[in-house]
Amino acid sequence: MTARPDIGIVYHPDFLIHTQDYHPEKKERLLAILSLLKEEKLFDRLEQLAPVPARVEEIGLIHTESYIKYVKEMCERQRPYLDPDTYLTPRSYEVALLSAGAALTAMRSVMNGRLKTCFSLGRPPGHHAEPNRGMGFCLFNNIAIAARAAMEEFGLERILIVDWDVHHGNGTQAAFYHDPRVLFVCVHQSPAYPGSGYTDETGSGAGTGYTVNVPLPAGCGDAEYSAFFDEVVAPLADVYRPQLVMLSAGQDAYHDDPLAGMRLTFAGYAAMARKLKQIAEKHCSGKIVACMEGGYNLKGQAEAVVTTLSELGGWGRPVKNENIPATGRKDALGVIAKVKEQSLALLAGKVDTV
């Protein structure tokens, strides 16, 4: 073990304040991750960073002033819901600022060279939050805010965001739909919430070709997700040459997740993390910033997060074995092949002009 870890997490106890007992996106998700890290004595392998709340101007890198004000006022008035899926507590606004702040801390720790990899454990999650509305348990789009800040503060022009949460990252897509400075590559179950993320959503204007959606039928697992990386993410990264790799790390494609129907195992998460790391090492000295998104099987999502951290950190922790039959969906491989062809054709000849 090196004296000083080059991988870290961002955590703050206030992330536990935003919670609702009977809602799947509750504080116990984070507690399960922390207790697994503690149980396995893994904290000494991780730099632990504390976030500061994002400033309103930083939230404003992605969200409209009126929406930010709306969230604040809804919390002040103690309204219990932002939309039917998305609860609020009186302190959710300040916790959401802290969650976005955690993504910013993770991004800065990697961009200023302190760490190679940093995983924000911020809650509430963010990838469904669009510039002018929150939804799907998300208030502010943590990863999008951090990506925009990376452009502003470090002059980045090519950021790869991979979103492996089981749901389409509609908020992140909306934030960068016109912007070639983010290549957004999103694999998700379809049909499913939020109902977007089809293959013909490819970006617009200068951003055409820089949004890549891979909608897969329920029932896909390790084989299809590996193919997604090998056939779509890796070849696109070779063309795009990202200066930073970011990950919307949802753990709800896990086979025993109560909200979705995919069949990923821990071995699948390990393989994806390894492939992501290879891509980052090839193109940007291994720089990876991950932000926690969904994942609702408490034990399963905790194990998937720790498996991901272990692979990104190169700890050699054995992958927990599960007896799950292998998947092999030809229809899914057909979608992956189609997206590969389409997205490479759209990007061809464009990237050099970015």
Query: Rule CB under 5 A: which residues touch Zn ion?
Result: 165, 167, 250, 252, 294
Based on CB atoms, which residue is closest to Zn ion, 151 or 166?
A: 166
- State residue 30 phi and psi, 5-degree precision: -70, -40
Assess whether 178 carries a catalytic annotation.
Answer: no
CB of 207 to Zn ion, least distance (A): 24
Based on CB atoms, which residue is closest to Zn ion, 222 or 252?
A: 252
| Separation of CA 45 from chain center | 22
- What distance in Å separates the CA atoms of residue 327 and residue 310, rounded to the nearest whole number? 24
- Specify burial of residue 41 (Cβ count, 10 A radius: 0-12, 13-18, 19+): exposed
CB of 259 to Zn ion, least distance (A): 7
* Nearest CA-CA partner of 307 in 263, 260, 274: 274
CB of 177 to Zn ion, least distance (A): 20
Based on CB atoms, which residue is closest to Zn ion, 224 or 252?
A: 252
CB of 249 to Zn ion, least distance (A): 10
Pull the structure tokens for residue 11. Answer: 């955590």
| Separation of CA 188 from chain center | 12
| Other residues' Cβ atoms within 10 Å of the Cβ of residue 70 | 17
Helices then strands (H, E): number in the chain? Answer: 11, 10
Based on CB atoms, which residue is closest to Zn ion, 116 or 168?
A: 168
Alpha helices per DSSP H over 229-297: 234-240, 266-284
Q: Name, in order, each residue with C-beta under 8 angstroms of 176's C-beta and a sequence gap of 6 or more.
A: 144, 147, 161, 182, 184, 207, 210, 211
CB of 64 to Zn ion, least distance (A): 24
CB of 248 to Zn ion, least distance (A): 9
Consecutive H or E run containing 349: none
- What distance in Å separates the CA atoms of residue 29 and residue 25, rounded to the nearest whole number? 7
Cβ pair 217, 186 in contact under 8 A: no
Cβ pair 28, 40 in contact under 8 A: no
Based on CB atoms, which residue is closest to Zn ion, 242 or 294?
A: 294
- What distance in Å separates the CA atoms of residue 160 and residue 180, rounded to the nearest whole number? 10
162 forms beta bridges with 185, 247
Q: Which residue among the candidates 18, 127, 128, 283 is catalytic per the annotation?
A: 128
| Separation of CA 185 from chain center | 11
Based on CB atoms, which residue is closest to Zn ion, 179 or 257?
A: 257
Based on CB atoms, which residue is closest to Zn ion, 166 or 245?
A: 166
CB of 215 to Zn ion, least distance (A): 14
Active centre residues (catalytic): 128
